[in-house]
Chains A and B, each alone.
Chain A
Amino acid sequence: MGASDQQVSDATCDVAIIGAGPSGLAAAAVLREHGVGVTVIDEQPRAGGQILRQPPKNFSVAHWLPAKLYDRVKAALHAVSEQQDIDWRFQSTVLGILRPSAYRTLRADASGAAGPESAAVRSHMERQTSVAGPDQKLGGGAHELWIQGPSGCYLLRANAVLLAPGCYERPLAFPGWTLPGVMGAGAIQGFVKSQQFVPGNRFVLAGSHPLQLVVADQLLTAGAQVAAVVFTQRKQQALRMLRHPFVALRHHRQLLETSHILRRLRRAGVPVIFGHTIVRADGAHAVEKATIAEINPSGTIDHHKTHVFECDRIGVCHGFLASSELARQAGADMHWKDHAGGWLARHDDWLESSIKNLFVAGEITSVDGADAALEKGRIAAVGILRSLGRLDDNRARSLASNARKRLSHLQRFAAVLQQLAQPPAGLALQTMSDDTLLCRCESIQRGELQRALADNKHVLSADAAKLLTRVGMGLCQGRLCGDNVARVIADARGVQPDEVGPFQAQAPVKPVPLAALTRERITSPRPRM
């Protein structure tokens, strides 16, 4: 190993879990019970992930998540959050999942030096070399995580990695969507949940996902005004969604309350409008008005049939996109499933991705909700134990069987919800006008991309379009525009968005301050091969 190794290569751990959401926490509990060293990395300051959004430690909130909606997830959090034998690394962002150099591994083996590998891993490596079955995966097994922690960047080597990075809200681009005051409905909920703070006075919620009903209700309870809740679905379809048997499911138990919520909204005089979509936001410096338009039965927006609401906040709510950047950067096989979260990681029965010992759990495999994320975390943990040689196949199977049963039950209903909560096909293409900002980081309008596509007819991939126009080159790394860019290209070329592909993700997957990267100690750098 070169001298530079010591400076950035921190240590080796057994299993690194990326994401302290329901999936990561459930996996940590299982792994810990089996005596495996666990390191949990999350960019947030505390555990809990998207759904719990714990208030900061020194910020006590009287009724943190009073509704009993999240008790399973909370239980998972309590089961591990105070465990000192877990190596918690908060405020730490994983910038990349890298393959340790095969060259270094070979050299360590040849010298016979006692490597940092545990006995379990050694036996695993033996298994690896002796069983070269047809299901051979890419990579040698170990991974190196490039981490930006509170005091700089370093590498952490892990014998196995569980990637559970969750999801984020699917953005919709429409004239005015970049005005201050246009937010994701879930982001609004985030404020209310974690800090009991209402970020605005008068809200319009618009979208296709039932989450917006819950948010509307929470806003009313917190004393805000809700000017309207707007569903893209027509009334019959929306009611079918809201009344579907999945309401009986713990997973979406909040929706058990939908009839109560609808009643409360009606009592408060909040119009719930069906068959409409947000088409523009206006305001001098921030949102002052929201315009919605009718969607006719064929699915096209009728821009002549509009309503305008005065408001200072718009919450849009069209479902979720999996945070796929690390999986893509690592080179895992991905597949595209529009209503299940866009680009998702392919995996086997044990939730192992196409890359050896890179496991995936939670929304990155399909946006199925928090309870499903818990079960996926458990299954993946058993898979990891099996892969590390800690459990034989039979034990692993029996250990995972309950989680599998619960998961398949949960996923059946999640699939129905995904179907029903899907925005109408082509909505994103209809709400964007020619001069709507498609990529807000680089200020690229939809029309600019379309003209570039017309002038350069060989551009097919999202990456080629990015290179040509700078679309997706900015600070958000295409998280916000990627989905819409793919739709615009697919539409221009007459193909499906998955043929256009996601933007290539590269490490670092998120911008890093140079100060966290540069080291004055490296004065005459020698490149490492």
Chain B
Amino acid sequence: MKPVNVVVLGGGLVGCAAAYYLARRGAGVLLVEQGDLNREASGRNAGSLHFQLEYRLIRYGDELAAQFAQIIPLSLVALEDWRGLEAELRADLEVGMHGGLIVAESDADVALLERRQALQEKWGLASQLLSAAEVRRMAPYLAESVIAAGYFPHEGHANPRLVAPAFARRAEELGVTIQSQTRVTGLMRDGAQWVVTVVDRSGRAREVIADAVLNAAGAWAGEIGALAHLHLPIFAVPLSMNVIERAAPLIPHLVQHASQRLTLKQVAAGNVLVGGGWPSRFSREGSAMSTQRRADPVVENVMANLTLAARLVPAIGGLHLLRSWTGITGITTDQMPLLGAVPEAPGFFVAAGGAAFTHGPTYARLVSELILEGRPSVSIDLYSPARFSHINNFMASV
């Protein structure tokens, strides 16, 4: 085993991809995951490749939307990354980039689409506004109630089941050591190095010394931050997803709604995935919300989500809901990713938050360039943890 230069904390998509990119650049990497790989957000998400602005980014008025639109430059990099990913990883990831439709059912929806369009244009994402007739021609499976749609031809989806495991396999070929069923319980800076305490399945604790640590713990990135006595303003949020039984190919696009929570797509096996950010509910642990147990489903939300889906794509109305599940993901206070070095803790890097299925491979690639080369090939300053230095100002003197 090579000496460990970087310990990657968390074995979701971001962690597995970072391990791969770090190793490709020659680093010695240890990846530590408390459960099995890809079992949290990265294996439980909807698999949408979001390049247009999602509803959650556009719904809080013009001022905030303008701020949240700063994600688009990263989305454009991610788009290129996804195009090459299957070849790079020599794996079928079920990537389908056949276009994304954000549908409107009312004049207010259309107005929202127009505003979104303007913001996207400003940041260099060339989307179109389709008329009712154009939508009908492109997506005959959509209901009559759809009167317009925002369209971006390169949007689409990939299969979350497959992406992180493919990164992990390639990472191991490059010499990365992966320890699953192993939990990080301590992080201490010792001079220029980090001492990482990990506890394996049998309860045995061990210390690992590394030059750098990468916090890729998703919704739990705040807890990892706390181990290093840092505040990382990441909030865990509980979401839900639904999968409908297999059907003949019908829906080639990623379908979203202009003013409601909906994403809908058909995966390679024929199942239709329905999500869009409907909440599930954290279970309680004393007075706290537990992020350690699975979030509980909220039946009303599952029903409302499916009602909306069946209204927009009437053909699925005759099928069965196969299963619903919940997943926990992390968002930051300003909806931007937390990506880069934490200035108050040299050698401590973080890549978390946001739509990190879409952006995960890109976070991972750019942050590994930053770790190993001191600067990434594309600027990620907009997303740097340095924007929260005013908080860690009071945390970092230890």
State the A residues within 8 Å of B (CB): 2, 4-5, 7-8, 96, 98-99, 101-102, 144, 146, 153, 155, 331, 442, 455-456, 458-461, 463-464, 467-468, 470, 473-475, 477, 504, 506-508, 511-515, 517-520, 522, 524-525, 527-529
B255 located at the interface, meaning its Cβ lies under 8 Å from any Cβ of chain A in the complex: no
B308-344: which residues lie under 8 A (CB-CB) from chain A?
Answer: 308, 310-311, 316-326
Separation of A504 and B180 alpha carbons in the complex (Å): 19
What is the bound-complex CA distance between A206 and B371, given in angstroms?
62
Show 25 A/B contacts (Cβ-Cβ < 8 Å), sorted by A.
Answer: A96-B297, A99-B283, A102-B284, A146-B299, A455-B169, A458-B11, A458-B33, A458-B37, A458-B178, A467-B38, A470-B161, A470-B269, A475-B245, A506-B324, A506-B325, A513-B318, A514-B244, A514-B317, A514-B321, A518-B307, A518-B310, A522-B307, A527-B301, A528-B298, A529-B281
Bound CA–CA A529/B305 (angstroms): 14
Name the residue of chain A whose CB is nearest to the CB of B37: A458
B168 within 8 A of A: yes
CB distance from B243 to the nearest CB of A (A): 8
Alpha-carbon distance between A528 and B301 when the two chains are bound, in angstroms: 7
In the assembled complex, how far is the CB of residue A90 from the closest CB belonging to chain B, in whole angstroms? 21
A520 to B162 alpha-carbon distance, docked (Å): 36
Interface residues on B, range: 35 or more
A527 touches B320 (CB 8 A): no
Complex Cα distance, B297 from A528, in Å, reads 11
Within 8 A of A (CB), among B213-272: 244-245, 260-261, 269
**Chain A: which residue is nearest B278 at the CB level?**
A527
Q: Interface readout for B288-312 with A: 1 if CB under 8 Å, 0 if not? A: 0000011011111111111110110
B136 at the interface (CB under 8 A from A): no
Interface centre among B36, B278, B324 (most CB of A within 10 A): B36
Residues of A within 8 A of B278 (CB): 527
Q: Is B156 at the interface (CB under 8 A from chain A)?
A: no
Q: Which residues of A contact B317 (CB under 8 A)?
A: 514-515, 518
The chain B residue with its CB closest to the CB of A465 is B36
**Residues from chain A with Cβ under 8 Å of B161 in the complex:** 467-468, 470
Q: Are A529 and B310 in contact (CB under 8 A)?
A: no
Q: Which residues of A contact B165 (CB under 8 A)?
A: 456, 468
Given the known A-B contacts A514-B244, A529-B281, are A460 and B180 also in contact in the complex, defined by CB atoms under 8 Å? Answer: yes
Of all chain B residues, the one with the shortest Cβ separation from A519 is B307
* Min CB–CB distance A278 → chain B (angstroms): 31
Top 8 closest pairs, chain A to chain B, by CB: A525-B304, A464-B36, A518-B307, A511-B320, A458-B180, A4-B300, A518-B310, A528-B300
Q: Is the CB of B324 within 8 A of A153?
A: no
Most buried by A among B278, B305, B308, B320: B320
Report yes or no: B321 in contact with A511, Cβ–Cβ below 8 A: yes
| Partner-A contacts on B (CB < 8 A) | 11, 33, 35-39, 43, 161-162, 165, 168-169, 178, 180-181, 244-245, 260-261, 269, 278-279, 281, 283-284, 293-294, 296-308, 310-311, 316-326
Complex Cα gap A261–B189 (Å): 76
In Å, the complex CA distance between A504 and B181 comes to: 17
- A520-B325 in contact (CB<8A): no
**Measured between C-beta atoms, what is the minimum distance from A3 to chain B in Å?**
10
Given contacts A506-B326, A517-B321, 19 further A-B contacts (CB under 8 A): A8-B303, A102-B284, A331-B293, A456-B37, A458-B11, A458-B33, A459-B36, A464-B36, A467-B39, A467-B161, A475-B322, A507-B297, A511-B320, A511-B321, A512-B321, A518-B306, A522-B303, A528-B279, A529-B298
Give the distance to chain B from A500, nearest Cβ to Cβ, in Å: 11
A183 to B260, CA, bound (A): 47
B residues near A520, Cβ cutoff 8 Å: 307, 311
Nearest CB of B to A331, in Å? 7
Contact B36 A460 (CB under 8 A): yes
* A455-B169, A514-B244, A529-B279 known; A5+B300 contact, CB < 8 A: yes
The closest CB in chain A to the CB of B284 belongs to: A102
| B307–A96 touching, CB < 8 Å | no
A153 to B307, CA, bound (A): 13
**CA–CA, A460 and B178, complex, Å:** 13
What chain B residues lie within 8 Å of A155 (beta carbons)? 299
